[in-house]
């Protein structure tokens, strides 16, 4: 857990203060009622107030705080967004794979170090944000997200809500499905390589011979963010999830045909879910039963058909999402081209791996839900909520009833279908991918919004819809426009998150920058100094609202200039910026943080720099000059 304590009220206090407000209101009405006969208007306003207190209300009044954090992928924007639920207000953006003008993410030396070998990429396609867990419950430590566009995985620290690690996954293309090990804790992050490539992919072997093409399942050490091992499979890989026993991971495959064109990818009536045995994979790595490819040393296990490490469970054509029920009993594979979902019994997987039963024996039901099932979410009452992409609906259904119906009992498993607007991809319930699924809210990420918002040109926003699932009936309660495809999201109760108000001076985010200063004989907490090292100039300055510690420095045209700013302000929310005019350089410096950026002094004469984060009444005056000698 994070070292930071938050002053956010804990739930007990919250409940008390809510109750106090409620009692306060009732008491006031009571007094009024005693003094004068109650009018109809007064009665209805009292009834409204009581109704508001009683229901699963979306209203979050000014000054009130949301109950849940939503972590949203920003899709092809490459970022992650933090939402407040149920207000659906956007609280913050976390730049990850993208270049961010406001914070300088992708420009600062600190962010480049974190981006590592892919620091030169400014694009990304973020799909699946998932939080680290302990015993199947969120632990508030890290959030992980994949980049399909550049085959990367990043980790976000939940104390400061900044990206702190990023790796490029070797031997694969298109890292798509991503989840975390849930039990006993998130030792591993798992992710799927979607697009098949030749092994090796060095351009020397035949590029046309598809029989050499493979997809790999990657298992990443969550603490070090290094690849622990990879597993080669038959077919490609789409989405994935983990069980609640710490034993199995499951991934869907939509192209078991290994087709290279759309037509060829959808010929087979059945594709499969591949299940990985973690213990068997770890043992194989230990025993050295792996190969390496593409001149890197990542251990690659052979998990193709016939391997002891995996089992292939046939399911109807082109499945997409796979979701573990919070009871820990089922993997649910969503049919996409089939109107069904396949319920795989996790209890039966031991027997399958011991070859006592056949793969299809693990499928305990295959209920028909509607057209285009993509992803399934869960409440705490045994119900599942599946997005129907083609029908533009959410199907609410009961898992145990679906199994009973499959076994010939006369029960209805479908509970309700709710229209959404339109083309839903992922959906997610509050705490629904953990043991703490609470059955209060469902967010549906609809890909099209058509007539739901004021028109803004040919490019429409998405429509992130909030559904109240606390009652017997699902109720659509909010339309939320969103830019650039939020593929997936999670809803985390606020009691799980503890954030910092200020940076601490020993933070690892800028430890290397501070060490560089030390080598230069500079104490960044106190000094304002220019260090010249050939044509490299390092400018160290402090900032305290509304002044930089250095208001001018001199360099020569063509010098490589590194500006290091340390924000000495101790006041919450006093963030400074540093922008060098006409140089494409700007960055955020949070309170008690150090940030640095390197650029070429490419223009002669007087070049102003200024603070571009509003910090003080004299914020406009917070500026200085770089004097560039030609
Ligand atoms: S995928 Cu986008 S709707 Cu990348 Cu999780 Cu299913
Ligand atoms: Cu410092 Cu604006």
Q: Which two tokens stand for residue 591?
A: 């309170």
Q: If DSSP codes are grouped into helix, strand and coil, which group holds residue 354?
A: coil
Last residue of a domain, one of 458, 476, 499: 499
* Angle, CA of 241, 374 and 369, to the nearest 5°: 115
Would 589 be classed as within a structural domain? yes
CA 273 to CA 366: how far, in whole Å?
14
Q: Which ligand is nearest to the CA of 620?
A: 2
Would 12 be classed as within a structural domain? no
22, pLDDT greater than 70? no
CA 200 to CA 232: how far, in whole Å?
12
Q: Which residue owns the Cα nearest ligand 1 atom 4?
A: 127
Choose which residue among 375, 423, 444, 490 to substitute to test ligand 1 binding: the one with the highest number of ligand atoms within 8 A of its C-beta: 375
Instruction: Outline where DSSP puts E strands in 352-468.
Output: 363-365, 373-378, 383-388, 393-398, 414-419, 424-429, 441-446, 462-468
Would 569 be classed as within a structural domain? yes
Percent of the chain at pLDDT > 90 equals 90
- Asked whether residue 199 falls in the same domain as residue 314, the answer is yes
Per the CB < 8 A criterion, the answer to whether 153 and 166 are in contact is yes
- Asked whether residue 274 falls in the same domain as residue 301, the answer is yes
Q: Which ligand is nearest to the CA of 254?
A: 1
pLDDT reported for residue 55 = 60
pLDDT reported for residue 58 = 82
CATH number reported for the structural domain that contains residue 603 in this entry: 2.60.40.420
Residue 545 CA: nearest ligand 2 atom is 1
Per the CB < 8 A criterion, the answer to whether 243 and 249 are in contact is yes
20, pLDDT greater than 70? no
| Residue 253 banded pLDDT, cuts 50, 70, 90 | very high
CA 425 to CA 342: how far, in whole Å?
18
Last residue of a domain, one of 499, 523, 541: 499
- Asked whether residue 258 falls in the same domain as residue 315, the answer is yes
- Asked whether residue 393 falls in the same domain as residue 525, the answer is no
| Residue 329 banded pLDDT, cuts 50, 70, 90 | very high
- Asked whether residue 263 falls in the same domain as residue 296, the answer is yes
pLDDT reported for residue 45 = 52
Give the distance (Å) from ligand 2 centre to CA of residue 548: 9
Using alpha carbons, list the distances in angstroms from residue 294 to 57, 192, 193, 232, 299: 55, 18, 15, 14, 11
Give the distance (Å) from ligand 1 centre to CA of residue 334: 12
CA 479 to CA 88: how far, in whole Å?
9
CA 231 to CA 14: how far, in whole Å?
47
Would 18 be classed as within a structural domain? no
Q: Judge if the beta carbon of residue 128 lies within 6 A of ligand 1.
A: yes
Q: Which residue has the higher pLDDT, 38 or 476?
A: 476
Q: Which residue owns the Cα nearest ligand 1 atom 3?
A: 425
| Residue 59 banded pLDDT, cuts 50, 70, 90 | confident
Counting DSSP H helices and E strands in the chain, the numbers are 8, 40
Per the CB < 8 A criterion, the answer to whether 166 and 148 are in contact is no
pLDDT reported for residue 205 = 82
402, pLDDT greater than 60? yes
Q: Which ligand is nearest to the CA of 447?
A: 1
Provide the residue range defining the domain that includes 308. 169-320
Q: Judge if the beta carbon of residue 565 lies within 6 A of ligand 2.
A: no
- Asked whether residue 305 falls in the same domain as residue 413, the answer is no
24, pLDDT greater than 80? no
What pTM was estimated for this model as a whole?
A: 0.91
Note the pLDDT tens digit of each residue in 475-523.
Answer: 999 999 999 999 999 999 999 999 999 999 999 999 999 999 999 999 9
Note the pLDDT tens digit of each residue in 183-232.
Answer: 999 999 999 999 999 999 999 988 999 999 999 999 999 999 999 999 99
- Asked whether residue 247 falls in the same domain as residue 148, the answer is no
- Asked whether residue 460 falls in the same domain as residue 537, the answer is no
Rounded mean pLDDT, 617-623:
96
Residue 487 CA: nearest ligand 1 atom is 2
Would 554 be classed as within a structural domain? yes
Give the distance (Å) from ligand 2 centre to CA of residue 575: 7
Q: If DSSP codes are grouped into helix, strand and coil, which group holds residue 43?
A: helix
ipTM of model: 0.96
Q: Using the structure block, give the residue that is written with the tokens 């426009």.
A: 481
Would 529 be classed as within a structural domain? yes
Q: Using the structure block, give the residue that is written with the tokens 């045995």.
A: 277
Per the CB < 8 A criterion, the answer to whether 494 and 67 are in contact is yes
CATH number reported for the structural domain that contains residue 480 in this entry: 2.130.10.10
Would 326 be classed as within a structural domain? no
Q: How high is the mean pLDDT of the chain?
A: 92
Q: Which ligand is nearest to the CA of 617?
A: 2
18, pLDDT greater than 90? no
- Asked whether residue 144 falls in the same domain as residue 220, the answer is no
54, pLDDT greater than 80? no
Note the pLDDT tens digit of each residue in 293-307.
Answer: 999 999 999 999 999
How many domains does one find in the chain? 3
Give the distance (Å) from ligand 1 centre to CA of residue 66: 26
Q: Which residue owns the Cα nearest ligand 1 atom 2?
A: 487
Residue 148 CA: nearest ligand 1 atom is 4
- Asked whether residue 180 falls in the same domain as residue 314, the answer is yes
- Asked whether residue 562 falls in the same domain as residue 530, the answer is yes
Last residue of a domain, one of 258, 286, 320: 320
Q: Give the Cβ contact number of residue 408 at 10 Å.
A: 7
Q: Which two tokens stand for residue 396?
A: 């609410």
Q: Judge if the beta carbon of residue 487 lies within 6 A of ligand 1.
A: yes
| Residue 28 banded pLDDT, cuts 50, 70, 90 | very low
pLDDT reported for residue 43 = 43
380, pLDDT greater than 90? yes
Give the 3-state secondary structure of 448-503.
CCHHHCCCCCCCCCEEEEEEECCCCCCEEEEEEEECCCCCCEEEEEHHHCCCCCCC
Residue of 574, 570, 573, 440 lying closest to 494 (CA atoms) = 440
| Residue 130 banded pLDDT, cuts 50, 70, 90 | very high
Would 49 be classed as within a structural domain? no
Note the pLDDT tens digit of each residue in 154-173.
Answer: 999 999 999 999 999 999 99
Q: Is 626 exposed, middle or buried (0-12, 13-18, 19+ CB in 10 A)?
A: buried
Note the pLDDT tens digit of each residue in 410-466.
Answer: 999 999 999 999 999 999 999 999 999 999 999 999 999 999 999 999 999 999 999
- Asked whether residue 173 falls in the same domain as residue 159, the answer is no
29, pLDDT greater than 80? no
> How big is the chain, counted in residues?
630
Q: Which residue has the higher pLDDT, 492 or 32?
A: 492
| Residue 53 banded pLDDT, cuts 50, 70, 90 | very low
Residues contacting residue 122 through CB under 8 Å, at least 6 positions apart: 98, 99, 106
């Amino acid at each position: 857990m994070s070292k930071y304590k938050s002053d956010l009220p804990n739930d007990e206090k919250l409940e008390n203060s809510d109750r106090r407000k409620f009692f306060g209101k009732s008491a006031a009405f009571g007094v009024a009622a005693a003094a004068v006969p109650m009018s109809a208007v007064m009665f209805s306003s009292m009834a409204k107030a009581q109704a508001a207190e009683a229901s699963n209300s979306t209203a979050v009044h000014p000054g009130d705080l949301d109950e849940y954090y939503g972590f949203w992928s920003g899709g092809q924007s490459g970022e992650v967004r933090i939402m407040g639920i149920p207000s659906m207000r956007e609280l913050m953006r976390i730049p990850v794979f993208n270049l961010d003008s406001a914070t300088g993410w992708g420009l600062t030396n600190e962010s480049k170090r974190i981006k590592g070998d892919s620091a030169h990429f400014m694009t990304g396609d973020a799909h699946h944000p998932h939080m680290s867990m302990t015993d199947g419950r969120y632990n508030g430590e890290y959030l992980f997200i994949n980049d399909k566009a550049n085959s990367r995985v990043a980790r976000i620290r939940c104390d400061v809500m900044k990206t702190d690690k990023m790796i490029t996954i070797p031997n694969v293309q298109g890292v798509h499905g991503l989840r975390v090990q849930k039990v006993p804790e998130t030792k591993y992050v798992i992710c799927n390589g979607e697009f098949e490539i030749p092994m090796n992919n060095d351009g020397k072997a035949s590029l046309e011979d598809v029989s050499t093409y493979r997809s790999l399942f990657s298992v990443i050490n969550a603490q070090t963010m290094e690849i622990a091992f990879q597993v080669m499979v038959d077919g490609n890989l789409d989405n994935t999830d983990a069980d609640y026993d710490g034993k199995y991971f499951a991934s869907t495959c939509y192209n078991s045909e290994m087709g290279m064109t759309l037509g060829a990818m959808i010929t087979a009536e059945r594709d499969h879910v591949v299940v990985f045995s973690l213990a068997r994979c770890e043992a194989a790595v230990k025993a050295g039963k792996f190969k390496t490819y593409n001149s890197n040393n990542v251990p690659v296990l052979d998990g193709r058909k016939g391997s002891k490490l995996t089992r292939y469970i046939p399911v109807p054509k082109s499945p997409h999402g796979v979701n573990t029920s919070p009871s820990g009993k089922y993997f649910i594979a969503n049919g996409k081209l089939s109107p069904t979902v396949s319920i795989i019994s996790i209890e039966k997987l031991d027997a399958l791996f011991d070859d006592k039963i056949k793969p299809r024996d693990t499928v305990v039901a295959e209920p028909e839900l509607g057209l285009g099932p993509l992803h399934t979410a869960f409440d705490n009452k045994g119900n599942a909520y599946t997005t129907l992409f083609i029908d533009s609906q959410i199907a609410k259904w009961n898992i145990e009833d679906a199994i009973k119906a499959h076994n010939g009992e006369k029960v209805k498993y479908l509970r309700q279908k709710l229209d959404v607007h339109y083309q839903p991809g992922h959906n997610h319930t509050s705490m629904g991918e953990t043991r703490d699924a609470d059955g209060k809210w469902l967010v549906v990420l609809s890909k099209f919004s058509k007539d739901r918002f004021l028109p803004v040109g040919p490019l429409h926003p998405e429509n992130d819809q909030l559904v109240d699932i606390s009652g017997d009936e699902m109720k659509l309660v909010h339309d939320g426009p969103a830019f650039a495809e939020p593929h997936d999201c999670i809803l985390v109760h606020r009691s799980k998150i503890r954030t910092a108000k200020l940076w601490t001076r020993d933070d690892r985010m800028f430890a290397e920058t501070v060490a560089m200063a030390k080598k230069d004989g500079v104490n960044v907490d106190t000094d304002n100094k220019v260090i010249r090292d050939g044509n490299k100039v390092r400018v160290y300055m402090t900032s305290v609202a509304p002044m930089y510690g250095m208001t001018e420095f001199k360099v020569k045209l063509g010098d490589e200039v590194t500006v290091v700013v340390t924000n000495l302000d101790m006041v919450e929310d006093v963030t400074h910026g540093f922008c060098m005019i006409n140089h494409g350089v700007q960055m955020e410096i949070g309170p008690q943080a150090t940030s640095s950026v390197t650029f070429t002094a490419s223009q002669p004469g007087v070049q102003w720099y200024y603070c571009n984060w509003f910090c003080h009444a004299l914020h406009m005056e917070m500026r200085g000059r770089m004097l560039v000698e030609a």
